[in-house]
Chain A
């Protein structure tokens, strides 16, 4: 058994795939505090000299390990690179070649990294603006789009496919349909979004200043909740030039709902 595994390991090491895998491993797996140079262990476990089933490696590399620092690499690495990394690990460890698992029934994937958006130049600019990390009040701080961002404001999926002029108009003056004014007995007043009510506790997003704060208050503390929201969404669009608004509109229109 051991002989067979060793032979397999050696033949894998000699393939071009393992050579590519070595490169990918150096860039993605041994970096920093992870699996160490050539799988020698670091903060992540040692891989060198251990025994793995190929199907196990494949699953863990693709989907990551829940509640741990091990990310899923599906979406970050191509299928070829994942296969190459496994070939490379096989050159350091003993990897038994059991049949690869069917995709059905494998563990659900963790959050893949932000998928890059592809579209017209205008829409791609809009995508980058939506998530532009140099802007503290970028759209992604309060809206999810394409599986990315923070879900506080409404999903903007309903805008997909609408005429650009219409989207730009909504962007310039979105109606406040959900924001309410919350008054607390202590005298505090803030623009809020209702989130949930559980027993005597209510949760609101406090929109006074971004990022929104999820506040939990007891029902008894709430003096009133009214629809007359003085909150203006415009403040978040003000930093964008008219042509940038057009780019955002193009992105919201082009992306899949």
Chain B
């Protein structure tokens, strides 16, 4: 029953420095995005007695509830689809204050309405908005302190749905826009004043290295959005961010070249925003296979040598593992069975056997545009040393078409229609993998794609939710389902664990909605009628159960 050596090495060396404890202080749990809580009051032996403690209804149901709640010193901060922020007593569910952002009457963008969470630091609560602003609120009262319009959303065709990342006294936010004629960027603002500290353009301008990877003027509308939340390594003082697809999504003839830094992980100096290194997962993307999902930072032995790694699951269905000190490729492994857009990834990280959409023709490719996995986040447990990720089995017919960019307008270059997979049944799974080799230890199968994030805890539990409204706990070691609770609406957000008044809580958003949730109806027509919702459910053990 002794853990294997590699795991033990990690448990000591990577310690639990990025575990969340009493609080859930940041989007990914900590700056390394493990989504792991060191709390173990709720564990495999007592999970069956876990019961709801309170429910908080936000009332904002359109678009679902995709948030990661932040918990600091007994207060939970949640944002909803239309940029409403609530501060909630994390022990009782009582509202402490709320802030309703004045959303524009019409925003007419395909990105939203939804919001994936706030950041809390320095006495302030930060949120990106549906109309491309960043707002800072007083953590105690919810009063607005500063508000900045990152860029005119009608012009850039972009807005903010992701949670900000706070690093080194700056609040860093990405923008959507990768399916618009848009040039992506990441912007850092001073936490106190809201003044811009730096901007990193994900597509290099004239004279900058990498600009030559874009034909003609295509760099001006090449996408490369930064629509999720990055990670931070305070020791290296590097901010890691995943960059989205190149635009037009399916039509690449007008942007011949590698199209840097789309579909890349970029490592930036937190103080200046200067590029330290990059790793491009998909050169010249013509499938909409973003590298925009979370960057999980882990220290693990590779061939006997401890290395500082970064794991990023690409939307195309491969997890890429790179050395986070220099961007060197380490390994790549699949999280889905049905992958046909490439035959594989070689020892050097090169894509092998690319199968590209052809303008004017219809081709069957897997996975679908919804991804071999959606953005909902993986979890890493330092106790098992395993990486827990969902995966989706589905395909699509893509018809690429030539399209001219119109600044800020949709820029897809094609249409698609979902199709069942070639192998097995359409559906989803949540599985445990070795983060370096991709060896699979177990897999929990689901009728529908799983679109909620995973939460790992020191109780050796893995929590997540499904589209039908079940919030469930699996044994992190075996994948066996130990507990489940029906919350009344599907899961598209991210559960968290925290402690308040000496009791451990596990809380989850419940509320069906989102772009990919909408796609499901092409394969599962009944999902069109799945009920929306927007509530936080908090669970704890009854007094006598602890």
User: Which residues of A are interface residues toward B (Cβ below 8 A)?
Assistant: 26-28, 30-34, 36-38, 40-46, 64-72, 76, 110-111, 113-114, 131, 133-134, 136, 140-141, 148-150, 188, 190, 201, 206, 208-216
Contacts and interface: CB of A to CB of B under 8 A. Distances in A.
Contacts of A44: 518
Contact of B146 (A42, A136, A210, A215): A215
Contacts of B288: 32
A69 B110 CA distance: 5
Given A42-B518, A133-B155, A148-B155, A213 B195 contact: yes
A89 to B, nearest CB: 15
Given A31-B412, A32-B410, A42-B518, A66 B106 contact: yes
A36 B220 CA distance: 27
- In this complex, which of B195, B205, B521 has the most chain A Cβ atoms within 10 angstroms of its Cβ? B195
Interface residues of B, number: 62
A135 to B, nearest CB: 10
A47 B103 CA distance: 27
B127 to A, nearest CB: 14
Interface in B144-200: 144-152, 154-156, 179, 183, 189, 193-196, 199
A133 B407 contact: yes
A64 B108 contact: yes
B382 interface: no
A23 B403 CA distance: 12
B105 interface: yes
Contacts of A188: 193
Contact of B415 (A31, A72, A111, A114): A31
A32 B518 contact: no
A210 B415 contact: no
B277 interface: no
A208 B148 CA distance: 13
A40 B193 contact: no
Nearest to B157: A113
Contact of B528 (A30, A38, A46, A213): A46
B82 interface: yes
A110 to B, nearest CB: 3
B409 A113 contact: yes
Contact of B196 (A46, A68, A190, A209): A209
Contacts, number: 160
Given A30-B415, A36-B522, A42-B518, A69 B112 contact: yes
B152 A150 contact: yes
Contacts of B144: 216
Nearest to A25: B415
Contacts of A30: 415
B178 to A, nearest CB: 10
B82 A213 contact: no
Nearest to A43: B518
A149 B155 CA distance: 8
Nearest to A144: B152
Nearest to B180: A32
Contacts of A64: 106, 108
6 contacts: A33-B110, A36-B417, A36-B522, A46-B528, A66-B106, A141-B151
Contact of A210 (B156, B196, B397): B196
Given A114-B155, A136-B199, A216-B146, A43 B415 contact: no
A212 B148 contact: yes
Given A37-B399, A201-B143, 5 more contacts: A31-B412, A42-B519, A70-B108, A111-B154, A113-B154
A211 B196 contact: yes
Contacts of A46: 521, 528
Contacts of A206: 146, 193-195
Contacts of A32: 110, 179, 249, 288, 369, 410, 412
Contacts of A201: 143
Contacts of B156: 133
A211 B151 contact: yes
Nearest to A201: B143
Contacts of A211: 148-151, 196
Contacts of B397: 37
A110 B107 CA distance: 8
A18 to B, nearest CB: 17
Contacts of B113: 67-69
Contact of B514 (A31, A43, A149, A190): A43
A42 to B, nearest CB: 5
Q: Which of A31, A76, A136 has the most CB of B within 10 A?
A: A31
Contacts of B249: 32
B194 A43 contact: no
Contacts of B412: 31-32
A114 B407 contact: yes
Contacts of B369: 32-33
Given A32-B110, A67-B103, A215-B146, A43 B515 contact: yes
Nearest to B147: A214
Interface string B272-302: 0000000000000000100000000000000
Contact of B522 (A41, A45, A68): A41
A35 to B, nearest CB: 10
B194 A213 contact: yes
A111 to B, nearest CB: 6
Contacts of A31: 179, 410, 412, 414-415
The 10 closest A-B pairs by CB, nearest first: A71-B108, A110-B106, A43-B518, A213-B194, A43-B515, A37-B417, A31-B412, A33-B515, A214-B147, A213-B148
Contacts of B414: 31
